[in-house]
Chain A
Amino acid sequence: MSKGNPERNSRVKIITISREVESWGDEIGNYLASVLSFRVVDSKNFHEHLKKYYPNLPPEPPPGEKERNIWLRKARFCFEKIAQESPLIILGRGGQKIFENHPDSFHILVVASLQTRLQRVVQKYSQEETIALRILLQQDKKRERFLLEKFDVEWKNPALYHFTINTSFYSVEKATELILEAIESFQRETRSQLGSPPRKPSIFAHPSEEEFAKLLDFYGIKWLYEPKTFPLEWDEEGNVVEAFTPDFYLPEFNTFIELTTQRQKLVWRKNKKVRKFRELYPDLKIKIIYSRNLEHIRKKLELEDE
């Protein structure tokens, strides 16, 4: 299989893999990581990553719903930051819950029939079938309990995953190939949803935004109005205390646009927000259009030749 085209998979930044014991989930994860040049996070290094941002955070959520939610927010923040530098594949560790509904994540469940997994254990560890079966069932139970108790997740619930694969029927390489196709298709679908109409009923906060939208329409540039809000600052409990919603998103160019029509004195506040945005989300493109830029555009496009 050839190396993944970085453009092709540029939007999915976090892949989580949940897997049954001996379903080849780890092998697929590692292979996928080498194809896509993603970094692997597993049980061995998961806590080390967490500690970089939150030195006192335990490796798994503490008991209690409130405590769990705080832990989940912090873990999500930590791995989001890491994924901005280098995209991630997270093996296990409740990744599907940490990144539940995250727009740049893709969740995979890898399973195989009990008979298949049993054969793999017998061959790999030269175990008797009865012992191998006991180990398998114990491990499955352990994972199920870990996810239910720590993350309040029903492990095998298919609604948690974008893609489920049964390796009783596929090799590691074929399974990886199918997953890559699924990721590509997922990205295509979400991109087309982002760029599709209807979008006309948008209510603009400022007349210049409406004018700008008409300008984009004139040149056939697809746009979305305020489609996404980005957290910029969190308190100690992981609650968002400052956020930023760019005015426009141009899906064809993967670019956010922020119009600034305020008086110059107030512009610095917006500039500060944009600076923070660029620090936290360095792989996203944003352009600021100041009132003088709009004035120039008006001069050039509307007044020309009159």
Chain B
Amino acid sequence: MSEEEFQLGEVVFSSSEIEKKITDLAQRLNQEYAASRPVLVCVLKGAVFFAVDLSRKLSFDFDLEFIALSRFRSGAGKAVIEKDVETELRNREVLIVEDIVDTGLTLHFLINTFRKRTLKEVRVCTLLDCPARRIIDVAVDYACFEIPDIYVVGYGLDFKGRFRNLNEIRVLKDPYGRSTQILKQMGKE
């Protein structure tokens, strides 16, 4: 399939829908973390937009950190942390901030990594949760939206580095119209 065939499709979640969900999530986190100072770990690069908007609505103290993993390549050995957090995590509550949880592979790796470093709880919040693509079961504590098995871009999520800057989340059009059908079922036309 050539790159030209990948075109932006329908809006799945508008910027106002995203903002509302993030406000709701922030209110929940404000209650649950009121008495502590967690470390928010934003997973680069996709979660940056979400992490920034979310963190601006938080009323409790927190440390903001960033982490980046090496990318999978056929023949690549093991995943390595290319950009690590700088805060000492021992005995700190960690909240991983993801753009999307789909296969669960990256998240499982991160949860394992942080559990070894902190003896306290590691929780996960994500903008999008796609359980239909899950390979391994991982627990997602907070999710703004659940999506079916469609490829989406925007609000930090990219395709070949493009579309991150969209204010809304849109489907990447597929030539067979499958995603359009799924969106119709969701009531998004």
Task: Using known A-B contacts A219-B79, A250-B136, A297-B103, determine if residue A303 contacts B72 with beta carbons closer than 8 Å.
Answer: no
Stretch at the interface among A16-24, A137-145, A276-284, A286-294: A286-294
| Contact B136–A214 (Cβ < 8 Å) | no
Residue in A closest to B75 when the chains form the complex, CB atoms: A214
Knowing A214-B76, A221-B136, A253-B137, the reply to whether A303 touches B109 (Cβ < 8 A) is no
Residue of A with least CB distance to B150 = A296
A300 to B149, CA, bound (A): 13
A134 to B105, CA, bound (A): 66
**Contact (A304, B160) CB under 8 Å given A214-B75, A218-B77, A296-B149:** yes
Q: Interface digits, A152-183 against B, CB 8 Å rule (1 contact, 0 not)? A: 00000000000000000000000000000000
CB within 8 Å of A: which B152-189 residues: 158-161, 178
Q: Which of B45, B72, B112, B134 contacts A218 (CB 8 A)?
A: B72
Partner pick for B151 among A214, A250, A257, A299, CB 8 A cutoff: A299
Q: Are B159 and A255 in contact (CB under 8 A)?
A: no
Q: Name the one of B103, B106, B160 contacting A305, with C-beta atoms under 8 angstroms.
A: B160
B133 closest partner in A (C-beta): A293
By the criterion CB–CB under 8 Å, are B79 and A220 in contact? Answer: yes
**In which size bucket is the chain A interface?**
20 to 34
CB distance from A260 to the nearest CB of B (A): 13
B105 close to A300 (CB less than 8 A) = no
- In angstroms, how far is the closest chain B Cβ from the Cβ of A126? 59
A214→B74 CA distance, assembly (Å): 7
Contact B108 A218 (CB under 8 A): no
- Distance to closest chain B CB from A194 (angstroms): 16
> CB distance A296 to B71 under 8 Å?
no
- Tell me if B73 is interfacial: C-beta within 8 Å of chain A: yes
Q: Is the CB of B74 within 8 A of A219?
A: no
Complex alpha-carbon distance, A302 and B72, angstroms = 6
Given A253-B136, A303-B160, A305-B161, do A211 and B102 touch, yes or no (CB 8 Å)? no
Which residue of B is nearest A212, CB measured? B135
Determine if B102 and A219 form an interchain contact, defined as CB atoms under 8 angstroms apart. Answer: no
With A and B bound together, what is the CA distance between A219 and B71 in angstroms? 11
Nearest-CB residue, chain B, relative to A207: B74
Whether the Cβ atoms of A296 and B108 lie closer than 8 Å is no
| Per-position 1/0 for A208-231, Cβ under 8 A of B | 000100111111110000000000
Minimum CB–CB distance from A271 to chain B (whole Å) comes to 15
Contacts of A257 in B (CB 8 A): 135
Residues from chain A with a CB closer than 8 A to the CB of B133 are 293, 296-297
A306, B136: Cβ atoms closer than 8 Å: no
**Contacts of B75 on A, CB cut-off 8 Å?**
214
Using an 8 Å CB-CB cutoff, how does the interface string of B70-106 with A read, 1 for contact, 0 for none?
0111111111000000000000000000000011011
A301 on the B face (CB < 8 A): yes
**How many angstroms from the CA of A216 to the CA of B135 in the assembled complex?**
10
Which residues in window 240-297 of A have CB below 8 A to B? 250, 253, 255, 257, 287, 289, 292-293, 296-297
Q: Name the residue of chain B whose CB is nearest to the CB of A252.
A: B136
Which partner residue on chain B sits nearest A210 by CB separation? B74
Residues in A neighbouring B72, C-beta threshold 8 A: 214-215, 218, 301-302
What are 20 pairs between A and B in contact, CB < 8 Å? A214-B75, A217-B77, A218-B76, A218-B78, A219-B106, A221-B105, A253-B136, A257-B135, A292-B149, A293-B133, A296-B133, A296-B151, A299-B151, A299-B159, A301-B72, A304-B159, A305-B45, A305-B160, A305-B161, A306-B161
Partner-B contacts on A (CB < 8 A)? 211, 214-221, 250, 253, 255, 257, 287, 289, 292-293, 296-297, 299-306
Given A296-B133, A302-B71; 4 other pairs, CB 8 A cutoff? A214-B72, A221-B108, A297-B103, A297-B133
